Structure 1
Amino acid sequence: MTATTDFSADREAMIETQLRSRGITEPHILEAFRAVPREEFVSAERRHLAYGDHPLPIEAGQTISQPYIVALMIQAAGIAPGDKVLEVGAGSGYAAAIIGRIASRVIGIERHPQLVRIARERIKQLRYDNVEIVAGDGTRGWPKEAPYDAILAAASGSHVPKTLIQQLAPEGVIVMPVGDPRWTQTLVKVRKRTDGTLEQSDLGGVRFVPLVGEEGWSDS
């Protein structure tokens, strides 16, 4: 049995046991996870752990999120074909790649130059032409391509940055963790109504790395 066959089987098992069994049943989301090889987004020594039900460490002291959490955030944001999506904290590039199998355009913004370089290489090798990884302060968003139908943040802030809300399209959704990075945070969903007011709901407890930047935590 080849490694490719092993990873394919692991991917199918992940979809059934980690996603479908927990209420992620939308065909377009499951198909996106089926299409993206998670083993290509972790280091060689951790490839055998790629489909475990947990986050994994990556370069620059960051993590690649647990598959279920990525799926939950995509589901909560209601990402659909034709959408333009901003991902804050692109990290390995995995979540941006998954989103790119659904949305028309994905911008993944990352503050660590090493991760930007590695994620760009992976996205290019896999020929995900509708996904772009950019370098910058994620708390400031990426105004060049705003507004966005959805914004997902893979790092925890003390609040939802005002700049991200400003870059959200009417009826758009932000999904991000909020809370002290030293403890369990709350995953929140914020919808921007057409009149500009906000509707917020809580999606449960999570653990993410801190959101560092102008409207985030200090890097000290």
Structure 2
Amino acid sequence: MEERADEGPSIEARAALLLQLRRAGVRDLSIMRAFETIPRELFAPHRFRDLAARDMSLPIGCGQTMPAAAALARRLEALRIEPHHRVLEVGTGSGFGAAVLSRLAREVVTIERYETLAIEARQRLAELGCANVEALFGDGLAADETRGYFDRIILHMSFHEQPPHAVMAALAPGGAAIFGRYAPPASADARPSERLALSHRDGEALWTTSDLWPCRLGAALNGRAKAL
């Protein structure tokens, strides 16, 4: 029986994606295994499923995109997620990042501001049996402190300064958060560039932030939205 064209990438295509992650510098075996076990095509729009095994960003609903596999993998590797960690993800998107995180951490809370994306992501995560993921519709930049502390926070967006205190306050001492940050433009007519930043909370009021590498995450948006 011939394989249907809409069934998604073949085993060979998925293996090629893992090779692309290696070429991009990803070395963490737990992240490689997570990408190997999560079918990326399940999270891609139907018309783009044949491209899911390529290392490229893909458009999804509400004007958002699924990040390129290597870009996501490198961000997760920089966070150094451990199996006992509790992780907060702001910007669920398709849900693929949360699915990968479910293989790396003890518990994942992911928040999406677009209700349609949140509903679809929740369905996909349930289909995969990601029981340690709680997918919420809400404003992740105004995180409810009653959800407790997180060992790691990943924000799929860029800020002109630091992320809002409301979300960074949810980081436990000793924890780390990764996000994009706009750098000042080189000239008056140039567009500001984006750089990935990694912040560690060394104590109750002591933070250190490291500049990592260029990124393209897009501006942070506040509030909730039904759809675009």
CA distance in structure 1 between the partners assigned to 2:143 and 2:35 by the alignment: 25
User: CA contact under 8 A between 1:11 and 1:34: conserved in structure 2?
Assistant: yes
User: CA contact under 8 A between 2:43 and 2:124: conserved in structure 1?
Assistant: yes
User: CA contact under 8 A between 1:57 and 1:64: conserved in structure 2?
Assistant: yes
Match of 2:18 in 1: 15
**1:64/1:142 CA distance change after superposition, 3 Å:** farther
Q: Which amino acid aligns with 2:177?
A: I
CA distance in structure 1 between the partners assigned to 2:10 and 2:61 by the alignment: 22
1:115 aligns with 2:117: yes
Match of 1:203 in 2: 212
**1:30/1:161 CA distance change after superposition, 3 Å:** same
CA distance in structure 1 between the partners assigned to 2:11 and 2:91 by the alignment: 27
For each residue in 1:116-142, what CA deviation from the matched residue of structure 2 results, as whole angstroms up to 9, or x when unmatched?
Answer: 110011011111111111011111124
CA distance in structure 2 between the partners assigned to 1:145 and 1:51 by the alignment: 35
User: CA contact under 8 A between 1:171 and 1:191: conserved in structure 2?
Assistant: yes
Structure possessing the higher radius of gyration over alpha carbons: 2
Match of 1:132 in 2: 134
Gaps of 5+ in 1: 215-220
Q: What SS does the corresponding residue of 1:150 show, helix, strand or coil?
A: strand
Q: Which amino acid aligns with 2:206?
A: T
TM-score, normalised on structure 1? 0.90
The percent of aligned pairs where both chains have the same amino acid is 32
CA distance in structure 2 between the partners assigned to 1:154 and 1:36 by the alignment: 19
Match of 1:2 in 2: 3
Question: Paired residues, what number?
Answer: 212
1:91 aligns with 2:100: no
For each residue in 1:15-57, what CA deviation from the matched residue of structure 2 results, as whole angstroms up to 9, or x when unmatched?
Answer: 112x112221111111011110000001110001112222111
Q: After TM superposition, give the deviation of residue 145 of structure 1 in Å.
A: 2.3
- 1:1-220 to 2 correspondences below 5 Å: 2=3, 6-17=9-20, 19-159=21-161, 160-179=163-182, 183-213=192-222
TM-score, normalised on structure 2? 0.87
**1:166/1:27 CA distance change after superposition, 3 Å:** same
Q: Which amino acid aligns with 1:2?
A: E
Q: Which amino acid aligns with 1:21?
A: R
Q: What SS does the corresponding residue of 1:107 show, helix, strand or coil?
A: strand
Which consecutive segments of 4 or more residues in structure 1 shift more than 6 A? none
